[in-house]
């Protein structure tokens, strides 16, 4: 490393500069458990310390990688032995909640679930929600522009951020802690840092937008007889429930059957014989009204034959049981290993043709290959898992080509919500034009000319 441990210790104190086993015992890849290889980890307590660390790094051209909760899925947190990791794990304060304005001000290392709980405690809600809620951090959610299961109702992380503060590569602090819904005074600088995966700045604090609570959550698992029925169901539910439609999470039969019947990890609430299963949520403030609206919408879907079976959760435990099938990523890994996972988006109308073609291509190349699909259908987002019997890099490249290349023709994206990191960098040009990539490079050059922040992530 270019920077000395003494310089870092002088800023954050000796106990907050980690080396050796304290570094290597950290896992930087949730899927494989790969250990952190960084030269050292520094744990600042506040924005001033992050800025001082970056100033010192800038002076000696030390590259850094920022760590949040390490749940990212595209190798964005990987660091080499000559790199320094800046971990925000000590920056977990919820600084303020403005109940009138509906805002929450927070340090970026705070876990998402803590923010959800804090909002709930004052009778409001923070609606971003994903399976990694207990570990992922607000800074990581901002850096990756996280999505999750409530996007159909509330949008992605970008829509939840009113203001933020970031430390630039040279240690300068850009404090853009706007608390209003409207602020058109010049460029909206926070957008530079949302979704740029730590390549343009280190997010240290944020002002988040809170929403009114939806204490009544009606949840159902339904079965659909065909893809046409599935898309018909989505538009019917959109019309019948309007703004109350809180989630529309689809599992292809191969996903549902694997986690219920094949692995026996969950009792199937509906027999695993139908082509598609959907978890639908209806969010509201009044339990009785919400329940009636939801039941009527499902009855009409049954009459129209866009669904053939349905189970409505009668308790929190039953609701959690339905979601447990959808969120059982560990089960997927156990059931399919070795596997490759993908997070793509494409127009909904093209999805089934795309999946059918992929399945055929996989079967032709590896007759025993397995394909499992689920996703946030309403957002045009599919999560695809492929097991081709090997985790060899060459096999991975072949599978990647099968998954990603068709997206160029369809106007899809190689990353719906996980970002690019290192993993998808070779495929960025599949869904971004040369002009777009050159503009991204110009921005990187302008804000971080020495390429100190997350070097090589997103852009080469
Ligand atoms: P990390 O993994 O620590 O970092 C991710 C990237 O952000 C890295 O490039 C890192 O350098 C950068 N970064 C982290 N903190 C900062 C900061 N303060 N400033 C600047 N850069 C920073 N994602 C979804 O979008 N939707 C889902 O539904 C979803 N479900 C998941 C379910 C599971 C079980 C798991 C393991 C992951 C899931 N993810 C999902 C992916 C992951 O949780 C998100 O990408 C999350 O936003 C990452 O947050 P993190 O704090 O763990 O970030």
Give bridge partners of residue 125 from the DSSP assignment: 211
Token pair 């980690």 is found at 18
The reported pLDDT for the residue numbered 139 is 98
What are the distances in angstroms from CA 82 to CA 57, 169, 317?
12, 17, 48
pLDDT tens track for 411-439? 999 999 999 999 999 999 999 999 999 99
pLDDT confidence of 302, banded at 50, 70, 90? very high
Q: Find the mean pLDDT for residues 431-459.
A: 98
What pLDDT, on the 0 to 100 scale, is given for residue 415? 98
> What pLDDT, on a 0 to 100 scale, did the predictor assign at position 74?
97
Q: What distance, in Å, lies between the first and last C-alpha atoms of the chain?
A: 21
Binding site membership of 87 for ligand 1 (Cβ less than 6 Å): no
**What's this model's pTM, rounded to 2 decimal places?**
0.96
Q: Which residues contact 311 (CB under 8 A, 6 or more apart)?
A: 220, 221, 222, 269, 270, 322
Phi, psi dihedral angles at 205 (to 5 degrees): -145, 160
Please give the Cα distance from 456 to 30 (Å, whole number).
20
* Inter-residue contact 232 to 189 (CB < 8 Å): no
Atom 25 in ligand 1: residue holding the nearest Cα = 146
CA distance 288 to 297: 14
> Backbone phi, then psi, for 242, in 5-degree steps?
55, -130
Measured from the CB, is residue 332 less than 6 Å from ligand 1?
no
> Could you count the other beta carbons within 10 Å of the beta carbon of residue 353?
13
Spatial strand order in the sheet of 309-312: 309-312, 216-224, 276-284, 245-252, 370-376, 381-387, 340-345
In ligand 1, which atom is closest to the CA atom of 417? 25
Pocket flag, ligand 1, residue 420 (CB < 6 Å): no
* Residue 110 CA to ligand 1 centre (angstroms): 12
Q: Quick: pLDDT tens for 15-74.
A: 999 999 999 999 999 888 999 999 999 999 999 999 999 999 999 999 999 999 999 999
Domains of the chain (ranges; CATH) run 5-87 (3.30.43.10), 94-209 (3.30.465.10), 216-329 (3.30.70.2190), 337-442 (3.30.70.2740)
d(CA 166, CA 173): 6
Residue among 139, 37, 28 at smallest CA distance from 81: 37
Say if residues 249 and 143 touch (Cβ distance below 8 Å): no
pLDDT tens track for 180-211: 999 999 999 999 999 999 999 999 999 999 99
Closest atom, ligand 1, to C-alpha of 66: 11
105 by DSSP, 3-state: which?
Answer: strand
Q: Is the CB of 431 under 6 A from ligand 1?
A: no
Segment 286-293 mean pLDDT: 92
Q: How far is CA 296 from the centre of its chain?
A: 33
Contact (Cβ atoms closer than 8 angstroms) between residue 112 and residue 130: yes
Strands (E) across 50-152 are located at: 64-67, 84-87, 94-98, 103-107
What spacing in Å lies between the alpha carbon of 146 and ligand 1's midpoint?
Answer: 7
Give the burial string for 60-85 (b: 16+ CB within 10 Å, else e).
Answer: eebbbbbbbbbbbbbbbbbbeeebbb
Q: Does the pLDDT value for residue 242 go beyond 90?
A: no
């Amino acid at each position: 490393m270019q920077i000395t441990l003494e310089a870092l210790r002088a800023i954050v104190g000796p106990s907050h500069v980690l080396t050796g086993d304290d570094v290597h015992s950290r896992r930087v890849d949730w899927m494989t458990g790969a250990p952190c290889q960084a030269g050292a980890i520094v744990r600042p307590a506040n924005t001033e310390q992050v800025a001082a660390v970056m100033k010192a790094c800038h002076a000696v051209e030390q590259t850094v990688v920022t760590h949040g909760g390490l749940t990212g899925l595209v190798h964005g947190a990987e660091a080499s032995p000559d790199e320094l990791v800046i971990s925000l794990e000590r920056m977990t304060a919820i600084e303020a909640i403005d109940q009138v304005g509906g805002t929450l001000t927070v340090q970026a290392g705070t876990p998402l679930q803590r923010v959800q709980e804090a909002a709930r405690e004052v009778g409001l809600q923070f609606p971003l929600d994903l399976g990694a809620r207990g570990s992922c951090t607000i800074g990581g959610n901002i850096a990756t522009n996280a999505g999750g299961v409530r996007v159909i109702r509330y949008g992605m992380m970008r829509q939840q951020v009113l203001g933020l503060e970031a430390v630039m590569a040279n240690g300068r602090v850009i404090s853009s802690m706007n608390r209003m819904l409207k602020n058109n005074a010049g460029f909206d600088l926070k957008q530079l840092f949302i979704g740029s995966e730590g390549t343009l700045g280190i997010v240290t604090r944020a002002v988040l937008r809170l929403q009114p609570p939806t204490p009544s959550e009606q949840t159902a698992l339904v079965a659909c007889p065909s893809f046409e029925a599935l898309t018909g169901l989505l538009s019917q539910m959109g019309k019948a429930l309007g703004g109350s439609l809180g989630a529309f999470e689809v599992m292809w039969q191969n996903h549902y059957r694997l986690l219920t019947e094949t692995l026996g990890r969950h009792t199937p609430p509906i027999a695993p014989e139908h082509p598609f299963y959907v978890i639908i949520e209806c969010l509201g403030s009044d339990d009785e009204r919400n329940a009636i609206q939801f039941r009527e919408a499902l009855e009409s879907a049954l009459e129209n034959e866009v669904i053939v079976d349905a189970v409505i959760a009668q308790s929190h435990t039953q609701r959690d049981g339905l979601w447990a099938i959808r969120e059982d990523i560990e089960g997927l890994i156990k059931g399919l290993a070795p596997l490759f996972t993908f997070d793509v988006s494409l127009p909904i109308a093209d999805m089934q043709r795309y999946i059918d073609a992929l399945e055929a291509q996989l079967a032709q190349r590896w007759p025993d290959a397995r394909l499992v699909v689920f996703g946030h259908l309403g957002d045009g987002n599919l999560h695809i898992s492929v097991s081709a019997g090997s985790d060899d890099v060459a096999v991975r490249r072949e599978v990647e080509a099968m998954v990603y290349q068709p997206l160029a023709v369809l106007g899809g994206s190689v990353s719906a919500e996980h970002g690019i990191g290192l993993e998808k960098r070779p495929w960025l040009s599949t869904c971004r034009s040369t002009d777009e990539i050159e503009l991204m490079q110009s921005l990187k050059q302008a804000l971080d000319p020495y390429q100190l922040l997350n070097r090589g992530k997103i852009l080469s």
